[in-house]
Amino acid sequence: MTVTLLDDDVSAVVEAATRAPSVLNTQPWRWHVRTADDGTVFDLFADSARVLRVTDPLGRFLVISCGAGLFNARLAVRNISLEPLVRLSPDPHDPRLLARLTASPGKPPTEEERWLFGAVPERHTNRGPFHDRAISSGLIRRVEDAATAEGAVLTVLDSAAARRVLEIADEAAVEITRDGRRHDELSSWVHSRLEPDGIPAQALGPPMAEGAHGVRDFPVAQPDTAPVAYESDSTIAVLSTYGDSRTDWLRAGQALQRVLLEATLDGVKASFRNEPLEMLSHRWRVRDATTGFGHPQMIMRIGYGEPSVSAPRRALDEVLGAR
């Protein structure tokens, strides 16, 4: 039986996909939707106009971002009691086509799928200070299992390894600041006014007191407020994959979003310290300081914190192609 989705359902799927995190909130995705013999087909394309050509010349962060959107689309399709049949990199002749999702007949969503889908609009990056409250061992197991379910590995670091990774991140951040091209590209995606993409300055969190290491320091004028103390011992997690192909990056993105949604259900926030992963030499230092294997794809700071400003999203008609 062929499944043809109503326009409202198509919009709901793509709207959910756009709620995923993306590198510097570039939102580097395009969705084309059509009806085929086997169901409604959602083709996910990379928007090459939004690649960070200095920071991300291979497009790794772009593809990871699109993978996170793909996971949300899968959840949205399950939420309307359909089965998302996914092929990654379905056309070797078109590298822009990252994935093809076909909405086929299925069963009602599981309780876990309903809970995760409900967390989609609640999740957003939080760059503010976190409370000095430990994350339970039960939640750590759940987020590690969430990554495993998507073909990736999440390693929540002990305090010593976390400090080492943050030291590497700080060193990489200094190099980025001294590199004019990297600095300028980063600055171009941070906005003092609300824009449909990029990071609004209001979402950066308050200035950090001297000695704080958990949050990325963006090259913009901070609000005219006194620096505040951040958590004394950040919880850091590294998401890795066994391979480092575009398909692995897509798996990493899906694992990332599943981890973030699982954490959101417990009230846990997240931000990123990916500066070392933007530079090949530092990327392998992160691996050697943590897992010792695989390919680190994302570095996350997780914890409990106050609500923060969420980044905006582009209008649906800017990311959705004609059916």
Q: Considering Cα of 282, then 218, then 302, then 142, what sign does the dihedral take? A: negative
Q: How far apart are alpha carbons 139 and 137 in whole angstroms? A: 6
Q: Which two tokens stand for residue 32?
A: 């084309």
Q: Going from the N-terminus, what domains does the chain have, and what CATH number goes with each?
A: 7-123 (3.40.109.10), 137-303 (3.40.109.10)
Q: What is the pLDDT of residue 2?
A: 64
Q: What does pLDDT average to over the chain?
A: 92
Q: What tens digit of pLDDT does each residue of 174-188 get?
A: 999 899 999 899 999
Q: Given a cut of 70, is residue 220 above it in pLDDT? A: no
Q: How far apart are alpha carbons 76 and 137 in whole angstroms? A: 29
Q: How far apart are alpha carbons 226 and 261 in whole angstroms? A: 32
Strands (E), 207-304: 235-241, 269-272, 295-303
Q: What is the mean pLDDT of residues 110-119?
A: 98
Closest CA to 248 of 52, 60, 31: 60
Closest CA to 280 of 55, 99, 32, 24: 55
Q: What tens digit of pLDDT does each residue of 309-322 get?
A: 899 999 999 999 75
Q: In what order do the strands lie in the sheet with 235-241?
A: 153-156, 235-241, 295-303, 269-272
Q: What is the mean pLDDT of residues 287-309?
A: 92
Percent of all residues in the chain with a pLDDT value above 90, rounded to a whole number: 79
- Cβ atoms within 10 Å, residue 269: 23
Q: What is the pLDDT of residue 323?
A: 46
Specify the pTM.
0.96
291 — pLDDT class (breaks 50, 70, 90)? confident
Residue that wins the pLDDT comparison between 215 and 316: 316
Q: What is the mean pLDDT of residues 91-115?
A: 96
209 — pLDDT class (breaks 50, 70, 90)? confident
Q: Given 3-state DSSP classes, what are the helix, strand and coil percentages for the chain, each rounded to the nearest 5? A: 40, 20, 40
Phi and psi at residue 115, to the nearest 5°: -65, -45
Q: What is the pLDDT of residue 284?
A: 93
255 — pLDDT class (breaks 50, 70, 90)? very high
Residue with tokens 């197991």: 141
**Cβ-contact 273, 165 below 8 angstroms:** yes
**Coil vs helix vs strand at 12:** helix
281 — pLDDT class (breaks 50, 70, 90)? confident
Q: Is residue 156 within a helix (H) or strand (E), and if so which, with residue range?
A: strand 153-156
Q: How far apart are alpha carbons 278 and 134 in whole angstroms? A: 29
The residues pairing with 88 across neighbouring beta strands, listed in sequence order, are: 99
- In angstroms, the first-to-last Cα distance of the chain is 20
Q: What is the pLDDT of residue 44?
A: 98
Q: What is the pLDDT of residue 205?
A: 82
Q: What is the mean pLDDT of residues 59-85?
A: 98
Residue that wins the pLDDT comparison between 7 and 121: 121
Q: Given a cut of 90, is residue 46 above it in pLDDT? A: yes
Closest CA to 62 of 71, 70, 50: 50
Q: What is the pLDDT of residue 222?
A: 58
Q: What is the pLDDT of residue 213?
A: 67
Q: What is the mean pLDDT of residues 52-66?
A: 97
